[in-house]
Amino acid sequence: MHHRPSGSETRTSARTNSQGVTHASVQRRVQAGVRRGPSVPSGPYDVTTGPDDALWFTLIHSGGIARLTPDGALDRHALDSPACGPSIITPGPDGALWFTRCQDHRIGRMTVTGHATSFAVATPDSGPYGIAAGGDGALWFTQLHTDRIGRITVDGRVTEFPLPFRGAFPSAITAGPDQALWFTLNRADAVGRMDLGGEVTVHPLPTEHAAPVGITVGTDGALWFVEIGAGQVGRVGTDGVVREFPLPDRACRPHAITADPARGVCWFTEWAADRIGSITPDGHIEEYELPDRGAEPHGLTVAPDGALYVALETGRILRMEL
């Protein structure tokens, strides 16, 4: 999803106002060991760690999937349409990689050997975007343009569940610790929850025009998400209580977020500011400057060796040794 920009301080006390906005205890910018990975001009967008311990990237501008091994070897696999728009990618319960094809409205599957297949989404022009493995052995995905959540079995059978909104733009999705699916409603300023039977609960956010995008399960068992419109990181517990943490640069446009259990933090990309940030469960924020300006960091994942890999849509894969 292409969110374009529209039109450091340090705090030493923590407080939450009546709207649920928490001012983080400490915020500071630091430098990290960054190693530029291989150049991939076709626009790496999202990244995940595969079942083979390699890094798998979507190439949104060329219709491909790339695989990067721990020793730095890069393989590219072209899909059947260069304009299919592969977006979000995740490991499936069947040992393959599953990804959304946002432009031709299909769900893709690729084995670790590079064999690709795809499946049509039932509703035309739905714009599948986020995708995650559920606790029921199926993959669940969002549909940007049709206000639906989809479910696809590993043999390609698709079921769709309508949401109680119009124009909500459901975006990222993740499996929660409660066996439900949690997802962001970008244009409704809300986070949704759907159980495996399709029942929906919606949690409105305190901040108007928050525009949440990425979401993940944090190290504390809550759902953590980023608000690209408000420049905040949010947290919602399975009890529905929402907290928001303003970032030092409210115009940084945070986009994706992932958990790092070994370090006890969540990492997130600041798309418009060329930074990577981390946040602890109590709201302590650190930021890492990227070496290149205009890098457009999007998806990120923690590799098996503990390094953080970031997809830069401008054409590079970045490794951060922390």
Feature table: binding site for substrate? 255
What value does the CA radius of gyration of the chain take, rounded to a whole number of Å? 18
Separation between Cα atoms, residue 57 and residue 317, nearest integer Å: 9
DSSP conformation class of 192: E
Give yes or no for a contact between 237 and 176, defined as CB atoms under 8 angstroms apart.
no
Catalytic residue from among 61, 105, 203, 298:
298
SS (H, E, C) 48-66: EECCCCCEEEEECCCCEEE
Q: List the binding residues.
A: 255, 296, 313
Of 322, 321, 277, the C-alpha closest to 297 is 277
Burial of 284 (0-12, 13-18, 19+ CB in 10 A): middle
Q: In this structure, are residues 45 and 1 in contact, taking their beta carbons and an 8 Å threshold? A: no
Cα–Cα separations (whole angstroms), residue 196 to 135, 148, 215: 8, 14, 18
Q: 145 an active-site residue?
A: no
Task: List residues with catalytic annotation.
Answer: 298
